[in-house]
Structure 1
Amino acid sequence: MTARSTRPADKFDDDDYPAYTMGRAAEMLGATPAFLRALGEYRLITPLRSEGGHRRYSRYQLRIAGRARELVDSGTPIEAACRIIILEDQLEEAQRINEELRGHDRPESSA
């Protein structure tokens, strides 16, 4: 038996693996394929393409799309919802970097 670095089942645990077709993704979100295409047009998510050119979505992308769906369902225009999510993501990243930098600035305590 040949050793492999990843087993096929490992892909199911990978949040970034493009496991879902557009139809299945739309069904899971309770949205339309047009909604998912719009998220791509506003550059919120960029689905990977299968060899046949079909859009494929990861679980991570579906979580982002779900957040957009929540905002749109509450009355936020889709373009604004996409911008809000992008800004939230940028803020979270900036806060993470800030915390890392603060951690490096702290003097180490000696024991």
Structure 2
Amino acid sequence: MPARSTRPVDSLDDDDYPAYTMGRAAAMLGTTPAFLRSLDEHRLITPLRSEGGHRRYSRYQLRIAARARELVDAGTPVQSACRIVILEDQLEEAQRINEELRAQAQRRTSA
């Protein structure tokens, strides 16, 4: 894996860079700061903190929060929505690993 550059522009491409304040994140999602705090309380997303202690969110975290909001808007309780999103993420990761293992096995049998 190539070493990450420390140029400021690189953080613009980093999905994990905590670029958004709570207010901006809430506005982008069309929700309230309280909703974002509830996702933190249910351990769906854990925003990084600025030196002043303010929550900062990454694009990746905002995508997760948006999925949770979709579920909540459809009538799912917040706690259940958080669990669903966590399970969806775990399933996606397991499927990715499974595909990698299948590809490795395929390469070994065709070699």
Taking structure 2 as the reference length, the TM-score comes to: 0.90
Alignment of 1:28-67 (within 5 A): 28-67=28-67
Whether 1:95 and 2:95 are equivalent positions in the alignment is yes
Cα distance in structure 1, aligned partners of 2:104 and 2:66: 36
Alignment of 1:7-86 (within 5 A): 7-86=7-86
Tell me the SS of whatever aligns to 1:31: coil
Cα distance in structure 2, aligned partners of 1:104 and 1:59: 32
Q: CA deviation at 1:23?
A: 0.6
Question: Which deviations, in whole Å up to 9, do the C-alpha atoms of 1:63-86 show, x marking residues without a partner?
Answer: 100011111011111111000000
Question: Which deviations, in whole Å up to 9, do the C-alpha atoms of 1:47-101 show, x marking residues without a partner?
Answer: 0000011000000100100011111011111111000000001111111111111
Question: Which deviations, in whole Å up to 9, do the C-alpha atoms of 1:25-56 show, x marking residues without a partner?
Answer: 01111111110000011110000000011000
Q: CA deviation at 1:6?
A: 2.5
Percent pairwise identity: 80
Gaps of 5+ in 1: none
Tell me the SS of whatever aligns to 2:53: coil
Question: What is the aligned partner in structure 2 of residue 108 from structure 1?
Answer: 110
Gaps of 5+ in 2: none
Considering only CA atoms, is the larger Rg found in Structure 1 or Structure 2?
1
The number of residue pairs the alignment matches comes to 105
Runs of 4+ in 1 over 6 A off after TM superposition: none
Cα distance in structure 2, aligned partners of 1:105 and 1:17: 35
Tell me the SS of whatever aligns to 1:75: coil
